[in-house]
Structure 1
Amino acid sequence: MHDVSAIPDFTVIRVNRLDIKQKPIKSKHNIVLAIDSTGIKLTNRGEWLTQKWQKKRKGFLKIHVGVDIETKQILAVKVTDEHSHDSKHLKYLVQESAKHGTIIKTLCDGAFDSRESFSYLDGRNIIPAIKVRRNSVPKSKGCYLRKIAVMEQLADYSKWASSVSYGSRWIVESVFSSMKRMFGE
């Protein structure tokens, strides 16, 4: 993690004092989980001059979120630094979200496209709706489920997207939009 400046501005103070309490879900139900992450800057205004001329980079925080698309509730949150890859936190987000019900499907963007992600979700009997990279090759290399996803998406992406309801990922994006409107970039 990066150190916050010695004299924090109002956004740092607001975020540090933020008391996030999660309302418990009354009944456990089948969950379609949307997972994504976003970055939050750690710099103040005018920091770009320091970056440009002194070549110092402040970095950013990454917030990883799992959202139930039916109830639109945040089920899992993890905060890391910018050096942490999204797919490394899939397991944690799924495990935390599973405390609220049975996860039947997970919607993820291309950052989660890995054999490990597909294998982990397959091992938990969760349907992986993960967008694969454009240059993906349909060789299984130990993960048959990923091979099927690659072949379906390369054949007809829009058909695959509608079959897994991939468009429902907008809910996790709206969580980030709300958060950034409230606390700033």
Structure 2
Amino acid sequence: MRYPEGGGLTAERPAFREGIRLQAGWRFAAGEKTAVIAKDLRVSVRSVERWRRAWREGGMEALRSAGPANSPVVTDAQFAVLEEELGKGPAAHGFEDERWTLARVQKVIRRRFRLSLSVATVWRLLKRHGWSWQAPARRALERDDHAVELRMPHRHRPAPHPTEPTLKTSVIKEHLGKDVIPGPIPPKRRPSR
């Protein structure tokens, strides 16, 4: 890698990389070989070949920086509007309960700004602006535990506590005549052939 000093996290780095490409462009015009340019500029031969193709098609202008590749899709002004929309609550946007999910924020962005963002991009956008995942501090007043149990009987089965005896540890205790600490059971060994 040509840029071990940081790889382009500051504003100066793209200008530095553009300078390297322009030096290569002048050397293309002088007729120098790809391998020599790569060695002198301390870049890969593949990069020099890619730059040479761009130079042939568009000249020195094709080697200039096109700007940051990951410029934010939602501007700061749009995000301020999005925060206002999120402040109104999910019910104001037609959702049944008062929970914001990434998919719901994605729908608000799609409706309001006509932008199609992935859920991961929505998360990065929110995180960049200081939003975080939060769990409710208390249970909802409207929660009906009985209805939840009826809807999902196969879920929410409490796991046995590790100190409570299970059938397996009880049988071992009877057989050995002493307490056994529950833990992983060693794998069965296959008989050798």
Return the structure number with greater relative CO, CA threshold 8 A, min gap 6.
Answer: 1
TM-score when scaled to structure 2?
0.17
Q: Higher strand share goes to which structure?
A: 1
Larger radius of gyration: 2
